[in-house]
Structure 1
Amino acid sequence: MKRIIASLALTVFCAGFAFAADEIVFKAKNGDVNFPHKMHQQAVGNCKKCHEKGIGKIEGFGKELAHSKGCKGCHEEMKKGPTKCGECHKK
């Protein structure tokens, strides 16, 4: 019984990878931000790096988080990816 529950949990967890959008567009008044989700999955490898509370929409995600420890902070830490306004925001 424990094996069945464990395999179901693993299946549900992995299903998130299969159904995740390849690219997400965040609307912004200074230019939309195209977020290549699939590329980030492959580069980061650990979903919990961004999805701390589990797979799905990131709680509290918005301008403040993206410009601080979220997107920009991760790019600076990894020394990879855009960190300037116009590199993310495209009109």
Structure 2
Amino acid sequence: MKRLIAAAALTLFCAGLAVAHDKVVVLEAKNGNVTFDHKKHAGVKGECKACHETEAGGKIAGMGKDWAHKTCTGCHKEMGKGPTKCGECHKK
């Protein structure tokens, strides 16, 4: 019985991670909203901790304008792909 419960918990946990990877998030901003496709970014740099506090993902500590500009733009420049100018992320 314990194994059945553990298997069910693991299945639900993995299903939750799979759903999280498909999210498209719209971040509201004065100069135009930013649409973030999580599925497109999952696995970038090989780990969730590139953006999240833990390998399991979850909330991003310090997420805000300054964090996003430093982290997102910095990563795009480092990787040599993705938007790096204001209007390429911010859409009115």
Instruction: Tell me the amino acid that sits aligned with residue 56 of structure 1.
Output: G
Where structure 1 has 5 or more consecutive residues not aligned to the other structure, the ranges are none
**Counterpart among 62, 73, 81 of residue 64 in structure 2:** 62
Deviations 1:40-84 (A, max 9, x none): 00444411111133411101100001111x111110111110000
What is the root-mean-square deviation in Å for CA atoms of aligned residues? Answer: 2.4
- Aligned residue pairs, count: 85
Greater CA drift, 41-50 or 80-89: 41-50
Alignment match, 1:24? 25
What stretches of structure 1 move > 3 A for 4+ residues in a row?
A: 8-12, 42-45
TM-score, structure 1 as length reference: 0.76
Where in structure 2 are there 5+ consecutive unaligned residues?
Answer: 1-5
Q: Tell me, yes or no, if the aligned pair for 2:53 and 2:59 is still in contact at 8 Å.
A: no
Amino acid in structure 2 at the alignment position of 1:59 = A
Aligned-partner residue type, residue 52 of structure 1: E
Identity among equivalent positions (%) equals: 57
Cα drift, residue 16 of structure 1: 4.4
In 2 relative to 1, CA 45–10 (structure 1 residues): closer, same or farther, beyond 3 Å? farther
Separation in 2 of the partners of 1:52 and 1:43? Answer: 15
Aligned to 1:84: 85
Q: Look at both structures and tell me which one has the larger radius of gyration over its CA atoms.
A: 2
Alpha-carbon distance in structure 2 between the residues aligned to 1:10 and 1:72: 35
The letter for the 2-side match of 1:57 is K
